[in-house]
Every structure is written in structure tokens, then in C-alpha cells.
Structure 1
């Protein structure tokens, strides 16, 4: 009896210790608090609802919250190099970033039409099937058939500005402003014509 009691006490102590050592789940962002930050800091470039009107600035409406958070952290740390975004991200706390991400991810992205429809055949080929001859994988394998990406893994790319997508592919290819081994390898294998075509195709996805 005494032995059983001791085992029970030991088990309870171990369970309590295990619970104490388990890291707490990250706090979920508050979109209401996020909107206050967006209105003051982000709206001028990304739009009040996250739908940017300038092709140099990405649309963030409907983007996965975890992806937005990770990019803000990368800008703040200097891992992703952009002087303007570093200045915007540096004052933000982790809670601020989560709140901003929660707000943008809750907004509805406005569908976009590809500006140059002549690029659609090649763009669709690269996005859906890749280019086996140069070992370019299909973009939809990671970003999904409709360009919605996958939460906590790959960003949404549908209805994004074509010029912005092309710029990011160029940055991945250069490996200076953006460092990602997988995207660097993919971008290195794309021709300029393929980059233009697939960027236009992605912008029209919804």
C-alpha cells in the first residue's frame, strides 16, 4: 500500500514537472489591436484592408498569419534586407506582430486579373507542371492550385501583384535580400521569360 502511494506521488510529481516544462502555445493575435497598428504604420503602403494598390508593395489581405509574423521578424532581425521594412518592424513587439498578422489575415483579398494575358499559356505550364527539362518543379506543389498556399508552411501567392512576384523571384535568385535554399534553387532554373509568365499567371489566381 505504502509502495503504491509513493508511486502515485512520484507519478503526479513527474506529470506536474512535465507540464511546467512544456512551452506555452504562442498567443493568438488580436485583429482589433492589429488594426490600430495597421492604420498608423502599415496602411500607407499596404492599404487599410491589406489590398495594396502599388505593385511594389505586396497585398497582405488573406495572407497566412504565421507567414506575416515570420517576415516581420526577418525584417526586424535583418535576415530579410529592406531598410524601409526594417524601420517599420523594429519597434514592433512579438505581440504587435501577431496582432498585425491576425488583422491582415482576416481581411478579404481582392481578386486581380493578369495584366498581360499573352503570358498565360507559359505561366500556367510553369505553375502547374514546372519545366522537367530544366528541373523546375510545379509551383502549385507548394502554393496550391489556386495560389492559396498552406498555413504555417507556404505563403499565398494568388491575386498578388505580378511585378512584386517577379521582384521576389529575382531576390531569391540573387540570394542577397532574401535567403531561402529551395526558392533560390527554383529561381536559378527559371528563365526571364518564365519568371514574367508565371508571375502574371499567379496574379490572376484566386
Structure 2
């Protein structure tokens, strides 16, 4: 009889705990809400426009163009700025104020915008830049950039970012950061950039700027 009473006493607690566990599991299993482009545009104007432009086409090479970049890549970078997996004092501060849904919204908004074309500016390095981008440097173990980022630098959504048309200054800065270890959120890019000289980085960055 005592066993029966003990069972009856703990049964409601067990049922309650099971229900709570089920509700938590259900909440975790919920897919993210569909990105809201209007909300993303509002965030872009309020938070991002001063550096990146309201439509994601920045005015100077210090700041990257975001227009036309893959939403999954932009979302990943914002997440990594917020978690400090990617180091940039300004962007870490900006991302810290954004919710997960805010990041999805603004990433989708910039992805929906049209990137303004860029241009290569140094004729003396075009051949070298083209060689590295299309064929890599076999003797140094440097793979072709096009192998991951595509022949026109369009990238592959959810895997590799769009590069074509990006400011040469920004691309060069990021390759140097990968090489020097000040940007650490991509092991493959660190390995590749560590094998490139400054001249090679400048050449391929300038070549990439002219891709479309």
C-alpha cells in the first residue's frame, strides 16, 4: 500500500516535468521566423548605413560592400562578431545590440540589394591576380580562389562568400588579417593567406574588385 501511495504522490511531479521538457524541446525545434525585409531595411538605415550605405554599397574601401552578399554569410559574420569569434571593436559593438532575428532580417535585406560594380585599378598586376584567382599557385600549395568562390567571384550560398566587385582595399585588409592571425574565424583562409606575399595579396585583391 505504501508503494502505491508513493507512486501516486510522485506521478503528478513526473508528468509536470515531462510536460516542461516537451515544451522546451518544442521551443528549440521551432524554425527561425522568415526574414522581414522591411525590418531589415530599418535596421540597415539606423545602424549600418553610416559605414556600409543604406543599400549596402559603401562609399569607401575601408568598409565592405554588403549588397548582394549571401544572407547566410552575413548572418554568420554578425553572429561571430557578437560572440567575439571575429574581432572588430566597432562591429562587435554593433552586433551586440542585435537579436538573432534582427541579424537574419538585416542579412536578408542586404542580400536582396544590388551590388554596384567595382573595378581593377592596377594594370601591372592584373596577370598575377588573374593567375592566383583562376589557377592558384601550385608550387606554394595555394588553391585557386575560383575553386570555392566561383569563376566570377559569386561564391556559393551558405558555404563561400561573394567576392566579385568587392573593394580591393577591404579584400586586401582581410587577407592580411587572415595571414597575420588577427582574423581567426576561418582556418582554411588562414592557411591559404599565410602562403601569400603582400604583392600577391594586392594583385588578387585588385583583380577581384573587377570581377562581375
TM-score bracket relative to the smaller structure? 0.7 to 0.9
1:39 aligns with 2:30: no
Structure 1 segments unaligned to the other structure (5+ residues): 1-16
Task: Tell me how far apart the structure 2 counterparts of residues 26 and 138 of structure 1 sit (CA, whole Å).
Answer: 35
Per-residue CA deviations over 1:77-128 (Å, capped at 9, x if unaligned) read: 1111111111111010001000000110000001111121221100000000
- The structure with the larger Rg is 2
The within-5 A match list for 1:132-171 is 132-171=138-177
1:109 aligns with 2:111: no
Q: Which residue is equivalent to 1:203? A: 209
1:27 to partner: Cα distance: 2.6
Structure 1 range deviating more: 174-183 or 103-112: 174-183
Task: Tell me how far apart the structure 2 counterparts of residues 25 and 140 of structure 1 sit (CA, whole Å).
Answer: 33
Structure 2 segments unaligned to the other structure (5+ residues): 1-21
Task: Tell me how far apart the structure 2 counterparts of residues 72 and 191 of structure 1 sit (CA, whole Å).
Answer: 29
Q: What is the total number of aligned residue pairs between the two structures?
A: 189
Question: Does the 8 Å CA contact 2:32/2:101 hold for their aligned counterparts?
Answer: no
CA RMSD of aligned residues (A): 1.6
1:22 to partner: Cα distance: 8.7
Task: Tell me how far apart the structure 2 counterparts of residues 20 and 99 of structure 1 sit (CA, whole Å).
Answer: 23
Structure 1 range deviating more: 38-47 or 113-122: 113-122
Per-residue CA deviations over 1:13-56 (Å, capped at 9, x if unaligned) read: xxxx9x96993333331111100011111000001110011111
Question: Does the 8 Å CA contact 2:174/2:183 hold for their aligned counterparts?
Answer: no
TM-score computed with the length of structure 2 as normaliser: 0.85
Task: Tell me how far apart the structure 1 counterparts of residues 112 and 40 of structure 2 sit (CA, whole Å).
Answer: 11
Q: Which residue is equivalent to 1:24? A: 30
TM-score computed with the length of structure 1 as normaliser: 0.88
The within-5 A match list for 1:67-146 is 67-146=73-152
